Amino acid sequence: MDYEHNLTHIRVAGYVELNKFRHFFFCIMFVVYSLILCSNFTIVYLICVHKDLHKPMYIFIAALLLNCCVFSTTVYPKLLIDFLSEEQIISYSACLFQFFMLYCGSCSEFLLLAAMAYDRYVSICKPLRYAAIMKKKNIIVLLIFACLIPPLHVSVLTILSSKAKICKFDLNGIFCNNTMYKLHCLRSKFLTIFGVVALVNLSILPMLFTVFTYTKIFIISYQSCKEFRRKAAETCFPHLLVLFSFSCLFFYDVIIARVDSDIPETLRFTMTLQMILYHPLFNPFIYGLKMKEISKYLKKLLCRAKRTENI
């Protein structure tokens, strides 16, 4: 069965008007992918180089942006190949690998956002204990937790999917996400139940924890002085924007796999593109411009680059 699956090729059938606009799509997606890598790695570089940014909050931001690059690299290279190919196909084993990497990256983002919320809570609400709580060892534990827990869950879903019998060979999407389940002849109850468990553990609970934590921060800051409220809003607002953006896209991805094919192809194609276009660019934009310390070093880097160009 596994050998047969390795030889099975799936047709990626979610593209619209590809023959007309293949070069246009390729150029747009290539530029976007280049911007994603450059913008995310620039912020990571600034955090690595400047010692005053070697603080828990910025370390978590760097981890989040690196995770964003991994997420994008899981999808974009295959998309670019498909745009220039006469036939859009993918082997079932490659599809499973893309599925695994896609959801590991997505779920890691929820856990990293939860870790950042906890860091902000300790910093704002328990400043005297911050150094004791957010020490190096605890940061490493949180990062390892965010990186290892998703693969443990998603690997089970991937292995179960690899054992399932395939009856359909047209994937109603442009990459291997939840829509892959519709290729199976019969979806096992255990796969469905474990999928719900993974969804709760890796996305819903971290999201609720993050929202609850920021709500508590705002309640405490509301009862404090104006300066305290301003500081809380400045540090928490960018994280909430990122959480809101990513949550909307993630739950769209979950819902779309459970909706039958009554959604128009063009709308489905457009909405699927939103998942990979905006959010990976949104993160460096928010953290690069809204976080004062990073913004300061980013402006210096750009000024230095401009001076070098003029010489």
Q: Tell me the three state secondary structure of residue 202.
A: helix
If one compares 146 and 283, the residue with the highest pLDDT of the two is 146
pLDDT single digits (tens) 248-305: 878 777 777 666 556 677 777 777 777 788 888 888 888 877 777 888 888 888 787 7
Nearest in space to 179 (alpha carbons), one of 190, 169, 189, 193: 169
Inter-axis angle of helices 226-256 and 279-290, to 10 degrees? 170
For 128-132, 206-210, 237-241, which range has the lowest pLDDT when averaged over its residues? 237-241
pLDDT single digits (tens) 5-49: 445 788 887 777 777 888 888 999 999 999 999 999 999 999 999
- Is the pLDDT score of 235 beyond 80? no
Give the pLDDT confidence score for residue 20 in this predicted structure: 80
Work out whether the CA dihedral 149, 153, 158, 163 comes out positive or negative: positive
Give burial (CB, 10 Å; 0-12/13-18/19+) of 215: exposed
pLDDT single digits (tens) 209-225: 999 998 888 888 877 77
Nearest in space to 90 (alpha carbons), one of 35, 166, 148: 166
Nearest in space to 172 (alpha carbons), one of 246, 68, 83, 267: 267
* Residue that has been written with the tokens 């190919």 in this structure: 85
- The whole-model pTM stands at 0.88
Q: What would the two tokens of residue 277 be? A: 């276009």
Contact 200, 110 (CB under 8 A): no
Contacts of 297 (CB under 8 A, 6+ apart): 46, 50, 53
Burial of 228-261, coded b for 16+ CB within 10 Å and e otherwise, reads eeeebeebbebbbbbbeebbebbeebeebbeeee
Contact 291, 65 (CB under 8 A): no
| Whole-number percent of the chain with pLDDT over 90 | 38
d(CA 299, CA 292): 11
Give the pLDDT confidence score for residue 145 in this predicted structure: 94
d(CA 151, CA 81): 26
Give the pLDDT confidence score for residue 150 in this predicted structure: 95
Q: What would the two tokens of residue 60 be? A: 């978590």
d(CA 116, CA 300): 26
How many angstroms separate the most distant Cα atoms in the chain? 66
Write down the mean pLDDT value for the chain.
85
Domain boundaries, the chain: 9-309
Band of the pLDDT at 181, cuts 50, 70, 90? confident
pLDDT single digits (tens) 99-130: 999 999 999 999 999 999 999 899 888 888 99
Give the pLDDT confidence score for residue 146 in this predicted structure: 93
- Is the pLDDT score of 202 beyond 80? yes
Q: Identify the CATH homologous superfamily for domain 9-309.
A: Rhodopsin 7-helix transmembrane proteins (1.20.1070.10)
Instruction: Give mean pLDDT, residues 81-92.
Output: 88
